[in-house]
Amino acid sequence: MPAASLNWCRPAIALFVLLLLALGASVAHAQSHNYTVDIRPVLNDLDIEITHVAKAQALVLNLTNKSPTRVRCNINYSAPPQTPLRATRHIDPGRTETSVLRAHRRWFRVTVDVVCVPTPR
């Protein structure tokens, strides 16, 4: 096949590659949707450190027990329109436990209620 007959393919391939790149950029932008996180702790005078990492597909909550006693933390996630989620973590002194809320729908605001109480060993 002569090389002159393939000249029409190069612009078409370049256009196709540019369209794929533009589509990939718009999908990446849609996945990096931002949302606000409101953490409402009730720690009952316990030394608990709460940190969160807001990712596009999940909210990671880290609870660090800095008190000298074992602690039970009840976690309630509310991220409309997703179904609310409840979790419980038992945290030994000096340890960190993680709780994750995975996105099944698009969030705009996540409210997390954390209630921690001391528990007997």
Counted domains in the chain: 2
Statement to judge: residues 40 and 86 lie in one domain: yes
Statement to judge: residues 9 and 42 lie in one domain: no
Question: Which amino acid, residue 1?
Answer: M
Of the two residues 2 and 116, the one the predictor is more confident about is 116
Contact 92, 45 (CB under 8 A): no
Considering the chain, what percentage of its residues have pLDDT values greater than 70?
Answer: 74
Statement to judge: residues 28 and 41 lie in one domain: no
Contact 74, 102 (CB under 8 A): no
**Which pLDDT tens digit goes with each residue over 8-58?**
666 767 666 666 666 555 444 444 568 999 999 999 999 999 999 999 899
Statement to judge: residues 82 and 98 lie in one domain: yes
The whole-angstrom separation of Cα 98 and Cα 103 is 16
Domain holding 64, by residue range, is 36-118
Contact 71, 46 (CB under 8 A): yes
pLDDT at 94 (0 to 100) = 97
pLDDT at 30 (0 to 100) = 41
For the purposes of burial, counting CB atoms within 10 Å of the CB of 65, is it exposed (0-12), middle (13-18) or buried (19 or more)? buried
Statement to judge: residues 47 and 92 lie in one domain: yes
Strand pairing class (85-91; 48-54): unpaired
Statement to judge: residues 2 and 46 lie in one domain: no
Question: For position 105, which CATH number holds?
Answer: 2.60.40
pTM of the predicted model, to two decimals?
Answer: 0.72
pLDDT at 18 (0 to 100) = 66
38: β partners: 111
Statement to judge: residues 79 and 106 lie in one domain: yes
pLDDT at 31 (0 to 100) = 46
**Which pLDDT tens digit goes with each residue over 75-119?**
999 999 999 999 999 999 999 999 999 999 888 999 999 999 999
